[in-house]
A and B are shown apart, each in its own frame.
Chain A
Amino acid sequence: MTAIAFPAPDAKVLARRDAIVAGLRAILPAEAVIDSEDERRAFETDALTAYRRMPLAVVLPSSTAEVAAVLAYLSREGVRIVPRGAGTSLAGGAIPQEDAVVVGLSKMNRILDVNLPDRTMRVEAGVTNLAITAAVSHEGFFYAPDPSSQLACTIAGNIAMNSGGAHCLKYGVTTNNILGVTLVLLDGTVVEVGGDALDAPGYDLLGLVCGSEGQLGIVTEATVRILKQAEGARPVLFGFATSEEAGAAVAAIIGAGIVPVAMEFMDKPAIEICEAFAKAGYPLDVEALLIIEVEGSDAEMDAALARIVEIARRHGVKTVKESKSAMETAAIWKGRKSAFGATGRIADYICMDGTIPTGQLPFVLRRIDEIVKGHGLRVANVFHAGDGNLHPLILYNCNDPLEAERAEQAGNDILKLCVEVGGCLTGEHGVGIEKRDLMRHQFNEADLAQQMRVRAVFDPAWLLNPAKVFPLDGRIAA
């Protein structure tokens, strides 16, 4: 696949490669600078594996001071920088370019402080999402945003993409669960944005940094909010004969004043793929499946579920299956959270991430089916039904260039559809390179210009993750 363009590498920078690597070795320990081709190859792509570029070099700093020294040096030398957490971006947010140095945060993975009375933690930004929860789960606390890649993905990447997850209907996304970050600016200046109090003075720079895709600086530490786990949690499977009925049930549940902690939707192809992988007991004789999770004491969950089941019955639910044990609960979530991995076992796929107004669900699902079939391909749909965040998985064969191109075209058509019905290009994966060239479908020139002027405050020369988010033409430098 070559549909997404990369800027031509800067020949002058390529020619200075040895000097730049030597400059990096002068400020970092030897093991923190990677320049052999074999080792650099591990960093040439992320989870958008159809695209790859060999970076100029890779550095793996161990402290904020080292990150600051690296940025000061590279910005002085006019060398482009691609920040990287765990490299799990589905949007190509961490894909390098030939004239850029990858700054990876994987060595900065320490938990620095746990403050249970204030319900906060201070962590280095390379710590994984799940490791944050793991550090406090024995006390009954957890960090709420739970992207499916949480075993591998870092909080740095979560902040860069403002990641969500299955449970953000109730708990919000990353920006709602962070209090402060240490941010290294392009010139190496270290600033504390926010802190451990709820309010920070001045403009909401923390909110701006969340979702900025590594374009404003590099986050090296974060103060996150943690929450006490509910007394209990119980997912229930609801099978429907049509996705229209499932969609109507979701609307009716919210209309009744119930906001379950999660409401996940899978269509028939997704159910089959996930059931074959996880053996979660998903019903195979339905067209649409909702996984609805409620929390609380046993009596509270019984009461909430009774209300939800009653609503589901009014909307023609065919199957209702409650989790009866912790093992069943784990299997139910394993199936959903491995949807991408399980799909990868049967075919290559690209995963879309548009969000739509939930009222448009039946229409959009029908159109997605038509669009993908129109390109001669198959699709499996999993999505967060409560908030309208879709993840159509378009199946194709990556060894067939024509098919790959058609898959990409189908994906673009789906994202345009999301914008047309009032939604957006990306709900939680970010723009990266993947959706960069579609930005003008969602924003007009004035909208983009205002964003780029703010970007230029931090990086007037477009050195930080420069090939991402904004179309390559018409860029504003200051």
Chain B
Amino acid sequence: MTILAPGSEEEAASLVTDSAAARQPLLVAGNGTKAALGRPVEAATILSAAALSGVTLYEPAEMVIGARAGTPLAMVEAELAARGQMLPFEPMDYRPLLGSSGEPTIGAVTACNLSGPRRIMAGAARDSLIGVRFVNGRGEVVKSGGRVMKNVTGLDLVKLMAGSFGTLGFLTEVIFKVLPRPETEATLVILGLSDRDAIGAMSAALGSPFEVSGAAHLPDGDGGPRTLIRIENFASSVDYRIGELQRIGGRAETQVLDQESSAATWAAIRDAAMLVEPRERAVWRISVAPSRAADLVSGLRRRLECRVTYDLGGGLVWLALPVGDDAGAEAIRPAVRAARGHALLVRAPDALRAAIDVFDPPAAALQAVQAKIKAAHDPAGILSPGRMYAGM
């Protein structure tokens, strides 16, 4: 495996131009900590953003930060923390789940459109991403968006780049809007709820005026089911709002986690830490309307032996189960489709991820549009071919 790590945007453009001419596929990457996400790419060469590092713009009073794509996420977060700010979307760290090491980059956070529990309030990476620069598959440098948070000038290619897993372009620089870091946080824990009641409680909390920034349900823990509701704000507001929210658990027993244990708990939920072991199990990430999540899970539990975590008020279901022949795809795909949700196979052996759909295949008309969008960016099909869909 050859690794190309251009030190400048121009160098990256010239490398892509050469590869396009030679029809030589490139695996677009940062530091490779999420290499096991998506389908395996058949490429002898890695095009890495690792050498494109550094914060290029940070204006705390304008709530905007820009960085070269290979900048370690940790460096971006540290710069923000030093000025009391943060990335709003709380990007998850895939290293525990995927068993990888190294420093995740801000470019890969963008390319994978990562998010975390705060997504229910603040959106995913795509909601905070306001500008990108990238090299398309023709070797042209393209910019979209910019450094201001309201911008409708031209087609929003920024959104296409978020979550395209390197298949549309090699990101060289990304710009995000940011938020002040809340003064403190606390978490209300409701004990012993069924999945259905937990989703009802989370919906009630999210339908309250208290700006809940985390709502998760852990049904399979050792001490019985726990439903968690997070508030982040100024200290006096956190106290007041947690107090108001205690009513929604009805007669169920409740606890309150202080700042430190709340933060640790949500970091674990963010990274799906409860499903890391046993390592040989397959892991799915299912997006579904919360009101259909509990029925979906109980149906699947009848057919499969699985461990479950609900995040995003029930809108995100993490599922871990024995790999078997197909990681349960034959049962999971139709059930999720019937619930009008989407399932992403996050962890499974390479051979399996090459053999079955990792991303849900969209309807034929949409898939045709996606293939043309891929070709509009990368006519030679050299950028991480097959990473999202076979043959694309």
Name A residues whose Cβ lies closer than 8 Å to a Cβ of B. Answer: 115-120, 140-141, 161-162, 164, 168, 172-173, 175-176, 185, 189, 191-193, 195-208, 210-212, 215, 228-231, 251-252, 254-259, 296-297, 299-300, 303-304, 355-359, 384, 387-389, 422-431, 435, 439, 442-444, 446-451, 453-458, 469
A198 B156 Cβ-Cβ under 8 A: no
Name B residues whose Cβ lies closer than 8 Å to a Cβ of A. Answer: 59-64, 84, 113, 119, 123-124, 126-127, 136, 140-144, 146-160, 162-164, 168, 179-183, 200, 203, 206-209, 234, 236-237, 240, 287-291, 312, 315-316, 340-342, 344, 359-363, 365-367, 369-370, 372-373, 376-377, 388-389
Select B164's contact among A203, A215, A303, beta carbons within 8 Å: A203
A450 B142 Cβ-Cβ under 8 A: yes
Contacting residues, chain B, for A296 (C-beta < 8 A)? 237
CB-defined A-B contacts under 8 Å, sample of 29:
A117-B200, A120-B289, A161-B152, A185-B369, A197-B342, A198-B124, A199-B342, A199-B344, A200-B342, A202-B362, A204-B159, A204-B160, A211-B152, A228-B208, A251-B61, A299-B240, A300-B236, A358-B61, A387-B148, A422-B147, A427-B152, A428-B150, A429-B152, A450-B157, A451-B155, A451-B157, A457-B369, A457-B372, A457-B373
Report the minimum CB–CB distance from B180 to chain A (whole Å): 4
A212 B156 Cβ-Cβ under 8 A: yes
B290, B359, B363 interface centre (most CB from chain A within 10 Å) = B290
Contacting residues, chain B, for A172 (C-beta < 8 A)? 123, 127
- Complex Cα spacing A424 to B126, Å: 19
If the complex has contacts A207-B160, A450-B136, are A355 and B151 also in contact, measured as CB distance less than 8 A?
yes
A164 B142 Cβ-Cβ under 8 A: no
If the complex has contacts A300-B237, A424-B146, are A201 and B376 also in contact, measured as CB distance less than 8 A?
no
B142, B168, B344 interface centre (most CB from chain A within 10 Å) = B142
Closest 8 CB pairs of A and B: A207-B159, A257-B180, A427-B150, A199-B287, A251-B61, A201-B360, A453-B376, A197-B287
- Complex Cα spacing A191 to B208, Å: 34
A115, A117, A355 interface centre (most CB from chain B within 10 Å) = A117
Report the minimum CB–CB distance from B112 to chain A (whole Å): 12
B61 A359 Cβ-Cβ under 8 A: yes
Dominant SS among interface residues on chain A: loop
Count of A-B residue pairs with CB < 8 Å = 253
- Complex Cα spacing A313 to B177, Å: 28
- Complex Cα spacing A457 to B163, Å: 19
Nearest residue (CB) in B for A216 is: B155
Contacting residues, chain B, for A457 (C-beta < 8 A)? 369, 372-373, 376
Contacting residues, chain A, for B370 (C-beta < 8 A)? 202-203, 205
Select B289's contact among A189, A196, A387, A427, beta carbons within 8 Å: A196
If the complex has contacts A191-B365, A198-B312, A254-B63, are A211 and B155 also in contact, measured as CB distance less than 8 A?
yes
Report the minimum CB–CB distance from A361 to chain B (whole Å): 10
- Complex Cα spacing A228 to B205, Å: 10
Report the minimum CB–CB distance from B272 to chain A (whole Å): 15
Contacting residues, chain B, for A449 (C-beta < 8 A)? 140
Select A446's contact among B62, B142, B344, B361, beta carbons within 8 Å: B142
B160 A203 Cβ-Cβ under 8 A: yes
Nearest residue (CB) in B for A429 is: B152
Select B154's contact among A140, A195, A231, A451, beta carbons within 8 Å: A451
A357 B126 Cβ-Cβ under 8 A: no
Contacting residues, chain B, for A257 (C-beta < 8 A)? 84, 180-183
A297 B240 Cβ-Cβ under 8 A: yes
If the complex has contacts A185-B365, A201-B361, A450-B142, are A356 and B148 also in contact, measured as CB distance less than 8 A?
yes
Select A231's contact among B141, B209, B236, B365, beta carbons within 8 Å: B209
